Amino acid sequence: MPIPGLPEDRVAWVPQEPTRGLHPFLTVEEHLVLLPKVRLGERRQSSRARLLPLLERLCLPRERSFLRRFPHQISGGQRQRLVLAMALSWDPAFLILDEPTTALDPLARWELFALLEERNREQGLGYLWISHDLEMLSKATDRLLVIYGGLLVEAGPTQRVLKAPRSPYTLRLLGASRGEASLDSGYLQAPEQRQPGCPFRPRCSDGLPCCGQGVGWQGTLADGFRCWNPISRKS
């Protein structure tokens, strides 16, 4: 879907499963120089020289022996970082990051965060970060959108959403991230099995009879929620 005001050819995507972005018969180096050649018309040697520091920033080796390896010869974390390096290799204006830190160790996670923050500050790079990693999101984002069952249930400035959630689902998510157990955890039904109304209803301990009806958005587009019985009413 087009992003208003942003040309589609300036957007890069980092898939959750890195093998979806890698070709089994291309080496690390061939992956790295591919998009600069297609997008920028850059020569292979120039791309390699320009991008070796980026590999280091992403905690990847820059030795020739590593550059000659194929995707199946490097670790899962290295594959994820290689896909990130490819996404950044041609200086896009906007990144869509789908769970980009799942295979990364803590050092590499924070290095990625520092790199994105630096590109944001110096080059205006924007990004949409799809993740359950609330600790990272709390530092890396200005705004949060909380989605459950394909439905946007809360949106707002990151710190407001984390400190004063309005949706019971957001509250549950925050509790789970702190390791708080939930006795009525349940699961999200398949779309064809869901009852009308709020998709969180079978798991929500605060539901009302009206939750079986369609739930409208409350508040503004920039800061709002979708719930018949939001947190503030109960306190």
| Contact residues for ligand SF4, defined by CB under 6 A | 167-169, 198, 200-201, 204, 206-208, 211, 215, 227-229
In the complex with ligand SF4, the residue whose CB is nearer, 91 or 206, is 206
Element (H, E) at 218: strand 218-219
Beta bridge partners of 172: none
CB of 141 to ligand SF4, least distance (A): 23
When the beta carbons of 91 and 223 are compared against ligand SF4, the nearer one is 223
Distances in whole angstroms, Cα of residue 228 to Cα of each of 18, 121, 151, 159, 218: 39, 39, 15, 23, 9
Nearer to ligand SF4 among residue 177 and residue 229 (C-beta): 229
Query: Which of residues 108 and 173 has its CB atom nearest to ligand SF4 in the complex?
Result: 173
Nearest distance, CB of residue 84 and ligand SF4, angstroms: 35
Distance CA 222, CA 122 (A): 26
Going from the C-alpha of 79 to that of each of 30, 32, 132, the distances in angstroms are 13, 12, 20
d(CA 142, CA 144) in angstroms, rounded, equals 7
Q: Minimum CB separation from ligand SF4 for residue 8, in Å?
A: 35
- From the CB of 97, what's the least distance to ligand SF4, in Å? 27
